[in-house]
């Protein structure tokens, strides 16, 4: 219930205005977001890489409505990739891209062209791109664009969401050699017709999908903070004899950093998803919806600012 309310608020420009201008927001945002500038992204990447982590960087922003905004997002990724290469942070750091930020909602061809330019820049920087997955109305379009990009840039990664009923079948399709697939539970509010609604059903689906990916020929990227699913991932890695170069765990910046360090200590590859930029509202609200306990953190930040 609370999750639905927070996800509804994530789409409300009035609530956005309220939260974005509240003085306490800065402290909360800082926990989950590297900062506003490209330089912040590089600084945090350096810290994480020095701590043994791999990184994927996300320039915050989604639901772009003009070609100019989409081009600006593309250009920011090109700058980021150039600077990452100059700082010798690639291939340890790659980028995650939302097609909706590149124009997908109003011009699929433009989104493809922009994504292709980012893939070319990543290739030149000796690193990779992963296409984030957004709400279910975009899944087919995103997978189509992915297939086209993979023709020239085969290491382009996909994201599949275990809460969607279709995902087991998508996992089978994508568990092939050279295919990088990030498996997550899914962060959007989806109808029953397309998505499992209960935690138990979503978790069971995640395990079925994980089994398909870990027993397949691709490169699974297990994106979860859930202790039970991480333990199952470790178990399947042993079972299918997958060393740290054949799969990875992924977690979000600011969430369970001790667990990220523990897994690195155990010899696993762990990639931290690091968002940066001004447009943090939708991202932050999805994090709060996943764990309403974070609202307490929000409230404490508010109290400490009084
Ligand atoms: C690297 C990465 C990339 C992602 N990319 C996408 C994407 O492209 N599309 C998409 O729809 N979703 C994406 N997600 C989000 C994902 O779908 C889930 O919404 C999110 O990861 C929470 O699910 P969980 O598996 O961690 O399990 P949950 O059941 O939400 O959490 C399990 C446990 O993890 C801890 N935890 C989880 N969330 C938080 C939090 N916010 N704060 C503190 N502790 C927490 C708690 O201990 C909790 O009990 C991504 C997640 C990651 C890690």
Instruction: Say whether pLDDT at 302 is over 50.
Output: no
Could you identify the residue written with the tokens 């932050």?
Answer: 284
Note the pTM of the prediction, 2 decimals: 0.91
Mean pLDDT score of the chain: 91
Same domain, 241 and 185: yes
Same domain, 43 and 155: yes
CB of 28 shorter than 6 A to ligand 1: no
Q: In this predicted model, what pLDDT tens digit does every residue of 121-174 receive, in sequence order? A: 999 999 999 999 999 999 999 999 999 999 999 999 999 999 999 999 999 999
CB of 218 shorter than 6 A to ligand 1: no
Same domain, 22 and 51: no
CB of 294 shorter than 6 A to ligand 1: yes
132 is catalytic: yes
Ligand 1 center–CA 116 separation, angstroms:
28
Mutate to test the pocket of ligand 1, among 104, 225, 232, 270 (most ligand atoms within 8 A of CB): 225
Same domain, 217 and 301: no
For residue 88, with 0-12 CB atoms within 10 Å meaning exposed, 13-18 middle and 19 or more buried, which class applies?
exposed
The angle formed by the CA atoms of residues 98, 29 and 297, to the nearest 5 degrees, is: 125
Same domain, 129 and 243: yes
* pLDDT range class, residue 94, cuts 50, 70, 90: very high
Instruction: Say whether pLDDT at 22 is over 70.
Output: no
Same domain, 46 and 160: yes
Residue range(s) defining the domain that contains residue 7? 1-33+279-305
Mutate to test the pocket of ligand 1, among 61, 99, 135, 185 (most ligand atoms within 8 A of CB): 185
Same domain, 152 and 294: no
> In the prediction, which pLDDT does 56 show?
98
CATH number at residue 229: 3.20.20.220
Burial code of 223-256, b = ≥16 C-beta within 10 A, e = fewer? bbbbeebbebbeebbeeeebeeeebbbbbbbbbb
217 is catalytic: no
Nearest to 98 by CA among 55, 38, 141, 162: 141
CB of 187 shorter than 6 A to ligand 1: yes
Q: In this predicted model, what pLDDT tens digit does every residue of 241-291 receive, in sequence order? A: 999 999 999 999 999 999 999 999 999 999 999 999 988 887 888 887 877
- Looking at the structure of the chain, the number of domains it has is 2
Same domain, 8 and 90: no
- Mapping DSSP onto H, E and C, the string for 106-135 reads CCHHHHHHHHHHHHHHHHHCCCCEEECCCC
Same domain, 245 and 293: no
Same domain, 82 and 53: yes
Q: In this predicted model, what pLDDT tens digit does every residue of 75-86 receive, in sequence order? A: 999 999 999 999
Same domain, 119 and 244: yes
* Mean of pLDDT values over 183-207: 97
Q: What is the Cα–Cα distance from 195 to 193, expressed in whole angstroms?
A: 6
* Mean of pLDDT values over 32-36: 90
Ligand 1 center–CA 274 separation, angstroms:
13
CB of 225 shorter than 6 A to ligand 1: yes
């Amino acid at each position: 219930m609370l999750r639905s309310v927070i996800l509804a608020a994530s789409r409300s420009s009035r609530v956005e205005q309220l939260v974005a201008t509240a003085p306490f927001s800065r402290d909360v945002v800082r926990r989950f977001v590297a900062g506003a500038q490209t330089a912040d992204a590089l600084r945090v990447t350096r810290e994480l890489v020095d701590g043994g982590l791999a990184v994927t960087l996300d320039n915050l922003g989604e639901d772009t409505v003009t070609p100019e905004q989409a081009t600006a997002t593309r250009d920011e990724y090109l700058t980021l990739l150039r600077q990452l290469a100059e700082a010798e942070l690639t291939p340890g750091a790659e980028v995650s891209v939302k097609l909706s930020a590149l124009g997908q909602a109003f011009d699929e061809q433009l989104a493809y062209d922009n994504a292709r330019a980012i893939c070319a820049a990543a290739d030149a920087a000796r690193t990779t791109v992963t296409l984030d997955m957004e709400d279910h109305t975009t899944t087919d379009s995103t997978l189509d664009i992915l297939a086209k990009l993979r023709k020239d840039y085969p290491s382009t990664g996909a994201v599949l969401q275990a809460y969607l009923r279709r995902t087991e079948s998508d996992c089978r399709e994508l568990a092939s050699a050279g295919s990088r697939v990030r498996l997550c539970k899914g962060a959007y509010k989806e109808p029953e017709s397309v998505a499992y609604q209960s935690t138990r059903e979503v978790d069971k689906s995640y395990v079925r999908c994980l089994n398909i990916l870990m027993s397949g020929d691709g490169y699974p990227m297990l994106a979860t903070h859930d202790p039970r699913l991480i333990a199952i991932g470790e178990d399947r890695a042993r079972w299918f004899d997958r060393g740290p170069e054949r799969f990875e765990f992924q977690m979000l910046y600011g969430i369970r950093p001790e667990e990220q360090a523990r897994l690195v200590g155990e010899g696993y590859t762990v990639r931290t998803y690091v968002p940066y930029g001004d447009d943090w509202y939708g991202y932050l609200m999805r994090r709060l919806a996943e764990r309403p306990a974070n609202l307490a953190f929000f409230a404490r930040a508010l109290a400490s600012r009084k």
